[in-house]
């Protein structure tokens, strides 16, 4: 009887050991299931540099109503951790902007929105000069591995048909050549609406900027998708 009892006790101990092991494995599996996978971790912060002239800088507007500020607010309202840096300088031509590009792009930049050309057209700068300067900006950004969204501009009709047509062609040609995201006309739906423009008839008011942000957002989404694909 003593031998049978010892055998039974041995079996009971082994059963308990297996139970403990099973519980341990279950606890480990539960812990792993509850832990977020690396790919589910919060997305890295994105920094977009809005590189342009007075239309980007927000001439005539409070800082929080400028294009970069309203774009950032719209993105954050959608739950996206995106910072938009205002690198707009009023009066800048495309050629002048080339000179400040290096220091305008911080080390943590993720992408660039290029909005230039308006002052070139107002000054009657030859379209080929504007195109060459914009090409340098795009090339410099891409050399840093930064996706680019190119915002187009239109020349005033009083510049003459040849000039207007040549200027218009700059932006789609550059977008095709460099494979960048294109928003054909930065002031689309705004420029000819007095209720969306400031008194100078050149710069959008806060409502005008809000409309630009809403309309350009699908292109910004394309830009952000390119940023994500590079990570």
Yes or no: say if 178 and 138 are a contact pair by the CB < 8 Å rule: yes
From first CA to last CA, the distance across the chain in angstroms is 71
Tell me which residue has tokens 């996978």.
37
Vertex 78 angle, CA 72 and 81, to 5°: 55
Q: Which of 102, 195, 200, 229 is catalytic?
A: 200
Question: Would you call 54 a catalytic residue per the annotation?
Answer: yes
Question: Would you call 168 a catalytic residue per the annotation?
Answer: no
Total H helices, total E strands in the chain: 8, 5
Question: Would you call 108 a catalytic residue per the annotation?
Answer: no
Distance, in Å, from the CA atom of 90 to the CA atom of 114, rounded to the nearest integer, reads: 14
Phi-psi region of 178 (alpha: psi -120 to 50; beta: other; left: phi over 0): alpha
Q: CA torsion, points 201, 204, 207, 208, in degrees to nearest 10?
A: 100
SS3 113: strand
Q: Which of 53, 54, 92, 94 is catalytic?
A: 54
SS3 144: coil
H or E segment at 181? Answer: strand 181-183
**Catalytic (active-site) positions:** 54, 200, 203
């Amino acid at each position: 009887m003593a031998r049978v009892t010892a055998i039974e006790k041995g079996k009971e101990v082994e059963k308990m050991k297996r139970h403990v092991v099973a519980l341990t494995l279950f606890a480990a599996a539960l812990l792993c299931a509850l832990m977020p996978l690396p790919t589910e971790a919060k997305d890295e912060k994105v920094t977009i540099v809005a590189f342009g002239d007075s239309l980007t800088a927000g001439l005539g507007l409070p800082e929080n109503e400028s294009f970069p500020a309203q774009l950032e607010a719209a993105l954050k309202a959608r739950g996206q951790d995106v910072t938009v840096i205002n690198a707009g300088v009023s009066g800048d031509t495309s050629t002048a902007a080339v000179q400040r590009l290096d220091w305008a792009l911080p080390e943590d930049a993720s992408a660039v929105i290029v909005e230039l050309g308006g002052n070139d057209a107002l000054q009657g700068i030859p379209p080929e000069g504007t195109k060459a300067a914009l090409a340098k900006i795009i090339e410099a950004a891409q050399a840093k591995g930064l996706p680019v969204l190119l915002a187009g501009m239109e020349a005033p009709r009083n510049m003459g048909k040849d000039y207007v047509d040549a200027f218009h062609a700059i932006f789609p040609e550059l977008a095709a050549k460099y494979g960048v995201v294109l928003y054909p006309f930065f002031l689309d739906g705004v420029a000819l609406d007095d209720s969306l423009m400031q008194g100078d008839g050149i710069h959008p008011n806060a409502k005008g900027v809000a409309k630009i942000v809403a309309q350009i957002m699908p292109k910004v989404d394309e830009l952000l998708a390119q940023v994500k694909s590079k990570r």
